[in-house]
Structure formats: C-alpha cells, structure tokens
Amino acid sequence: MEAVIILLFATVAVLISVTQDKNHERKIEDKVKELGGQVIEIKREKYSTGPYTIIARGKIVYRIKYKIGSEIKEGWVKFGDLFGPDWRL
C-alpha cells in the first residue's frame, strides 16, 4: 500500500513539473512574439542563475535564444516571483 502511495505521489509531482514547464515555455514564446521575434531555444537552468544574483527555492530560471530580424539575441526570465516573471530580454 505504501508503495502505491509513493508511486502516485511521484507521478503527480512529475505531471505538475511537466505542466509548469510547458506553461512557462508558452509564456516565453508569447513574450518573444510580442517583441517581433522567434524563439530558437529555451533552456531551463538548473545550476546557473544568469543575471540574477539570488535565486530562492521555488524560482525557475530559463535562458532564451531568440531571433529578431537577422539578429540572434539571448535573454533570461525568472518565474516564481511575487510580482510575476522577471524578464531580461
């Protein structure tokens, strides 16, 4: 019985993580489109904090490569802040 509960908990945790990542990717793509660009790559950073000095538990940082016109740019976004995403594009 305990194994079933642990398996169920692990499955729910994985589903929440995947759903959260997809939601963040959609928000990133929407933001880049607002700027007139196209996303090339979205990478969730597990060890790098990018331009952010302190990353507390529950915060998620993504590095973004995108293209506007013929120029390739790099940006960052941190999700999980009280006032919404912190964009560095």
How much is the pTM?
0.81
In this prediction, residue 20 carries a pLDDT of 82
In this prediction, residue 58 carries a pLDDT of 81
Task: For residue 26, give its domain range.
Answer: 2-88
| Partners of residue 41 on adjacent β-strands | 65
In this prediction, residue 7 carries a pLDDT of 84
Per-residue pLDDT of the chain (89 residues; tens, 9 = 90+): 788 888 888 887 777 777 888 999 999 999 999 999 999 999 999 888 889 987 788 899 999 999 999 999 999 999 988 889 999 99
3-state secondary structure of 21: helix
Q: Please tell me the distance from the alpha carbon of residue 53 to that of residue 36, in angstroms, as a whole number.
A: 29
φ/ψ (deg, to 5) at 35 = -80, -5
Structure-token pair, residue 22: 């997809």
Number of domains in the chain: 1
How does 11-35 read in b/e, with b if 16+ C-beta sit within 10 Å? eeeeeeeeeeeeebeebbbebbeee
In this prediction, residue 18 carries a pLDDT of 73
In this prediction, residue 40 carries a pLDDT of 98
In this prediction, residue 39 carries a pLDDT of 98
